[in-house]
Amino acid sequence: MTDAQRLVRPALDELVPYEPGKPIEEVQRELGLERVVKLASNEGPHGPFPAALAALERTARQLNRYPDGGAYRLRTALAERLGVAFEQVAPGAGADGVVDCAAQALLDPGDEIVCGWPSFPSYVIDARKLGAVPRTVPLRDHRYDLEAMLAAVGPRTKIVYVCYPNNPTGTMNSRTELEAYFEEVPEHVLTVVDQAYFEYVADPDYTDAVEWLKAGCRVLVLRTFSKIYGLAGLRVGYGIGPADLVTALGKVRRAFDVSSPAQEAALASLGDDEELARRRALNEEGRSVIEAVLRDRHEVAGPAVANFVYAEVGDGGAVFDALLRRGVIVRPLGAFGAPSAIRVTVGTPEENAVFAEALAGLSLVR
């Protein structure tokens, strides 16, 4: 054991560092491909909103200043739109930053979190970093099994994560299932309802989880500007929850975690409902294309309601490699707990067509 290894907390022993995907340019160079499309990270394909681009230009001149650590204007605007108090809005470096703050604020070594699995890995990773114990509950029919999750709640459970819709399967629970869950969940638990894909979902049964907060449930709702708003590179998201919890999240968040360009671009993105609707519609069209080509050869999870599609392909790593060689980067799902599956993000119509063509060429892995 090296000196450095001796210094590192044992809680980190089991953790595998995040392995970033290769940049598009690197894949192009390595494989000698002219065109590479990335449908791997559930980013929106359309770039920032026009008003956000203008705001970014303005803020560029003031980058000598630190950001507003309290994100005052962004929080005020969000609170107003959501009909909650300013004190109930927690800004974060992406929704992921809020997951990190929630874990830091709530979890002592030996405490537990419950989440469905396969699901968004940060819930598990952030708990493990702190020496807390993740209880992962298998999905049922590719959907969160809320009854089984309630059964996994114990006296040391601090957080239950409900990924709504779930990444990577793209599926959601019904309103009735969630209502039954909130009836049953014990008082000592914080439920984090992760609505990172909120703006994409058109299903009439899909519920704005802030409703449950307003009804008095102990819930933290997560949202982000990384997806439909096209600001993934800036890292800005937020949580909406009880004021005392938001205060606690503020204690563990780094002072300047949300940069000023991120705050300004997020703020400028709010209110363009026309652009939101346009992107939602384009996404639905693209998603049906991706679903159809995948369903031709594989079992597809559904109904998929967000901007990605999950398919059982046998060996996710092999299909990932084969598609990569044809210039399409998708997500193999080993790290999400689903090594037999891939997840494909909806791209632009052109990108979706490239994917369809690449998949059709994979006769070997049919």
Ligand X SMILES: Cc1ncc(COP(=O)(O)O)c(C=O)c1O
Site for ligand X in 25-44 (CB under 6 A): 42
**Among candidates 258, 201, 194, 202, which has minimal Cα distance to 231?**
258
Specify the residue, 171 or 226, whose C-beta has the smaller distance to ligand X.
226
Specify the residue, 226 or 269, whose C-beta has the smaller distance to ligand X.
226
**Contact call for residue 237 and ligand X (CB under 6 A):** yes
**Contact call for residue 328 and ligand X (CB under 6 A):** no
**Contact call for residue 167 and ligand X (CB under 6 A):** yes
**Contact status, residue 264 vs residue 71, Cβ threshold 8 Å:** no
Site for ligand X in 107-126 (CB under 6 A): 120
Specify the residue, 120 or 355, whose C-beta has the smaller distance to ligand X.
120
**Contact call for residue 59 and ligand X (CB under 6 A):** no
Specify the residue, 226 or 283, whose C-beta has the smaller distance to ligand X.
226
- Distance set, CA 157 to CA 106, 119, 192, 242, 333 (Å): 10, 18, 13, 19, 27
Convert 107-144 to b/e letters by CB count within 10 Å (16 or more is b). Answer: beeebbbbbbbbbbbbbbbbbbbbebbbbbbebeebbb
Residue nearest to ligand X (CB): 94
- Distance set, CA 259 to CA 42, 95, 351 (Å): 22, 14, 31
CB of 34: closest distance to ligand X in angstroms? 28
Q: How far apart are CA 294 and CA 301, in angstroms?
A: 10
**Contact call for residue 88 and ligand X (CB under 6 A):** no
Stretch that binds ligand X, among 16-24, 89-97, 267-275, 357-365 (CB under 6 A): 89-97
Stretch that binds ligand X, among 88-96, 131-139, 247-255, 337-345 (CB under 6 A): 88-96
Instruction: Name 1's Cβ contacts closer than 8 Å, sequence gap at least 6.
Output: none
Site for ligand X in 189-228 (CB under 6 A): 194, 196, 224, 226
Stretch that binds ligand X, among 60-68, 94-102, 254-262, 327-335 (CB under 6 A): 94-102
Specify the residue, 37 or 196, whose C-beta has the smaller distance to ligand X.
196
Q: What are 22's two structure tokens? A: 């290769």
Site for ligand X in 265-324 (CB under 6 A): none
Stretch that binds ligand X, among 7-15, 25-33, 92-100, 183-191 (CB under 6 A): 92-100
**Residue of 27, 162, 163, 245 that binds ligand X (CB under 6 A):** 163
**Binding residues for ligand X, total number by CB under 6 A:** 13
Q: How far apart are CA 346 and CA 143, in angstroms?
A: 20
**Contact status, residue 240 vs residue 82, Cβ threshold 8 Å:** yes
**Contact status, residue 365 vs residue 322, Cβ threshold 8 Å:** yes
**Residue of 78, 127, 232, 240 that binds ligand X (CB under 6 A):** 232
Q: Which amino acid is at 318?
A: A
Stretch that binds ligand X, among 51-59, 90-98, 139-147, 202-210 (CB under 6 A): 90-98
- List contacts with ligand X (CB under 6 A): 42, 94-96, 120, 163, 167, 194, 196, 224, 226, 232, 237
